[in-house]
């Protein structure tokens, strides 16, 4: 007798995502697709029938790390699971992955992963399934509707691709041109997440503040309009967004930080360098002065806002004076947290062929000096919150009995002993201690909601 079970109901899968938050979102959507096809998550990723490596191409040697991960999937008996390589390395390396790693069955780029089930079916028929298309139509319409999230926080991609063409960056080549998802689709997806228990949504995009669209009344709006619309959704308590470009920080978005209560006081706004000469070589299209004026305006709108950023040291041609200018902009901005990296030469980008590539030892020294300054600022920001009363959204269990970990409005991890409370609760706390990467707190009430 024919079974009524889905065709893949006894098969297991594991999605391993690397890199940015957009990759995390993509990985979650791929998992949802596979679940809709009857696959079930593997208890142990190494034992899965299907493994999806959702890759990131931002850092140097990313492709080599993928091949190492593929090699580790080989089991003791010599067998391998069905292997799919997805994401930006897949887009950049293309069919070379299938040629170099015969155990790979599927190669799919970040704009074509909605076709993953069909590609897996082709692989099961013995084909090498490769799809690196960047279709004009949005992949999002082909993805299953969002359902229960099982967590109180979720990512929501609102914008993809990049038209900025920074000279060091591969994103325009692996993710394609900037596109904004339709307003109605985003409201519907956010509503489904909230109905599934989500209380905080982070809006994602390569240049998230470049999002634009038409609202339900046909009016053209930007990201601030989308945020204001989402803030009206009952049950959604918090809104965040990342990553932003200085050129897209509109007056409306800056104002929203002071006017929308649900928009958290946190802004990730990468500057990358503190030298106008290096910024021009990077094709960043903003200056040190214009960046600092944006920061000043944002702080005027929301005085308690936490500012985060990104930095690259050792960009081709960076002199000692250029690097000192980067330290100067860090001092002027006073970051709550920041990410910093050595310049990584990416094949196919203009910067990869520039003269005056900086020596590795020089880059290492500059990175250590920059990170030392950023760490001092982060510690000082954390210490300044000691004694403050704030609200946490509890997200996961801590290591101690009764301990839960939540995020403050300023995106700090906060540990609190909270018997009787559960993941997803919001609780009022008083910050009692500060470390370099997290805070300690005491609960003031059993639950804030």
Residues annotated in a binding site for [4Fe-4S] cluster: 20, 56, 88, 162, 166, 169
Closest by CA position to 180, among listed 209, 152, 154, 155: 209
Phi, psi of 406 (to 5 degrees): -135, 175
Rg of the chain over Cα atoms, rounded to whole angstroms, equals 23
Dist CA 232 CA 46 (whole Å): 43
d(CA 103, CA 112): 21
CA-CA distance, 110 to 88, in Å (whole number)? 6
Instruction: For residue 393, give the 3-state DSSP assignment.
Output: strand
d(CA 425, CA 367): 39
Whether omega before 286 lies within 30 degrees of 0, making that bond cis, reads no
- H helices of 153-250, in order, are 171-174, 183-195, 223-230
Q: Give dist(CA 305, CA 265) in Å, integer.
A: 4
Q: Which residues are annotated as a binding site?
A: 20, 56, 88, 162, 166, 169
Whether the CB-CB separation of 407 and 429 falls below 8 Å is answered with no
Rounded to the nearest 10 degrees, the angle between the axes of helix 21-36 and helix 116-124 is: 60
Tokens for 419, please give them.
């018997």
Q: Compute the distance between CA of residue 331 and CA of residue 260 in angstroms, rounded to an integer.
A: 29
φ/ψ of residue 345, rounded to 5? -70, 120
DSSP E strands in 250-366: the ranges are 266-268, 306-313, 337-342
- How distant, in Å, are the alpha carbons of 182, 184, 250, 251, 375 from that of 218? 12, 11, 20, 21, 46
Q: Please enumerate in sequence order all residues whose Cβ is within 8 A of that of 98, keeping only pairs 6 or more positions apart, or say none.
A: 104, 107, 128, 130
**Residue 371: C-alpha distances to residues 312, 366, 377 (Å):** 11, 9, 10
- Count other Cβ atoms within 10 Å, centred on residue 79: 9
Write phi, then psi, for 92 (nearest 5 degrees).
Answer: -75, -40
Q: Do 190 and 158 touch, CB atoms closer than 8 A?
A: no
């Amino acid at each position: 007798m024919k079974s009524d079970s889905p065709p893949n109901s006894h098969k297991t899968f594991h999605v391993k995502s690397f890199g940015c938050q957009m990759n995390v979102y993509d990985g979650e959507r791929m998992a949802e697709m596979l679940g809709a096809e009857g696959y079930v998550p593997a208890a142990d990723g190494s034992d899965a029938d299907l493994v999806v490596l959702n890759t990131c191409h931002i850092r140097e040697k990313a492709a080599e790390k993928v091949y190492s991960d593929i090699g580790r999937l080989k089991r003791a008996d010599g067998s391998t699971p069905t292997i799919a390589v997805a994401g930006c390395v897949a887009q950049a390396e293309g069919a070379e992955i299938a040629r170099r790693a015969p155990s790979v069955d599927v190669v799919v780029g970040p704009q074509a992963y909605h076709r993953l089930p069909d590609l897996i079916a082709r692989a099961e028929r013995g084909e090498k399934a490769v799809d690196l298309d960047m279709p004009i139509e949005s992949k999002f319409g082909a993805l299953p509707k969002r359902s229960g999230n099982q967590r109180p926080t979720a990512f929501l991609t609102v914008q993809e691709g990049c038209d900025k063409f920074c000279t060091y960056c591969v994103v325009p080549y692996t993710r394609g041109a900037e596109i904004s998802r339709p307003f109605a689709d985003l409201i519907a997806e956010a509503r489904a997440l909230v109905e599934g228990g989500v209380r905080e949504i982070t809006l994602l995009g390569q240049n998230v503040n470049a999002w634009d669209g038409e609202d339900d009344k046909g009016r053209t709006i930007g990201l601030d309009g989308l945020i204001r619309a989402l803030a009206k959704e009952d049950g959604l308590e918090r809104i965040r967004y990342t990553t932003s470009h200085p050129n897209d920080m509109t007056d409306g978005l800056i104002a929203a930080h002071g006017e929308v209560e649900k928009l958290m006081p946190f802004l990730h706004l990468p500057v990358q360098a503190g030298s106008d000469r290096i910024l021009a070589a990077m094709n960043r299209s903003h200056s040190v002065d214009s960046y600092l004026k944006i920061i000043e305006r944002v702080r005027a709108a929301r005085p308690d806002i936490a500012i985060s950023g990104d930095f690259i040291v050792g960009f081709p041609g960076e002199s000692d004076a250029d690097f000192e200018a980067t330290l100067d902009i860090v001092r002027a901005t006073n970051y709550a947290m920041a990410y910093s990296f050595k310049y990584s030469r990416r094949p196919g980008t203009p910067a990869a062929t520039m003269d005056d590539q900086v020596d590795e030892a020089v880059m290492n020294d500059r990175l250590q000096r920059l990170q030392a300054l950023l760490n001092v600022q982060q510690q000082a920001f954390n210490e300044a919150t000691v004694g403050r009363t704030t609200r946490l959204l509890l997200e996961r269990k801590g290591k101690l009995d009764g301990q839960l970990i939540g995020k403050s409005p300023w995106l700090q991890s906060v540990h609190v002993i909270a018997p009787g409370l559960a993941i997803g609760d919001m609780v009022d706390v008083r910050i009692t201690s500060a470390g370099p990467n997290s805070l300690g707190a005491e609960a003031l009430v059993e639950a804030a909601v």
